[in-house]
Amino acid sequence: MTRSDKHENLKNLPGIDHLLELSKKNKSFLDIPRSVILESARTALEIIRKNILANIETPINDDTILMQMHVLAKEKIRPRLVNVINATGVVLHTNLGRALLCDDALKNITRIAQSYS
């Protein structure tokens, strides 16, 4: 890709306002807050700009950009809570946390604590 091609492709990128208007008309964006859509539009355009400058073939059309925005927005609002097991009580209530260390373990701890790591 020549320098003028890059410049032309960068110049042809849609504006943020245009992308926001398109997202209003797209039903898949109805449950996504505007601030998240705005951030995803900026991120999508930044990715496309970097690809153009790195000579990576990138389709530049509204549908492709909207699809990328939707993926980015859904990732942003995805619930981050995961199931975990709180096993702290096992250590505290069984006194495993107060178990004695063997002599070798104490020697290694002392050796490591007395030197730089």
**What are the sequence ranges of the domains in the chain?**
3-77
Q: How far apart are CA 29 and CA 32, in angstroms?
A: 5
Per-residue pLDDT, 88: 72
Write down the pTM of the prediction. Answer: 0.66
Asked if the model's pLDDT at residue 92 lies above 70, the reply is no
End-to-end Cα distance, the chain = 49
Q: How confident is the model at residue 91 (pLDDT cuts 50, 70, 90)?
A: low
pLDDT band with cut points at 50, 70 and 90 for residue 97: low
| Mean pLDDT computed over every residue of the chain | 88
pLDDT recorded at residue 115: 83
Place 33 in a pLDDT band, splitting at 50, 70 and 90: very high
Query: Looking at beta carbons, which pairs linking 30-39 to residues 24 or more positions away fall under 8 Å?
Result: 32/73, 32/74, 32/77, 33/77, 36/73, 36/76, 36/77, 37/69, 37/73, 39/72, 39/73, 39/76
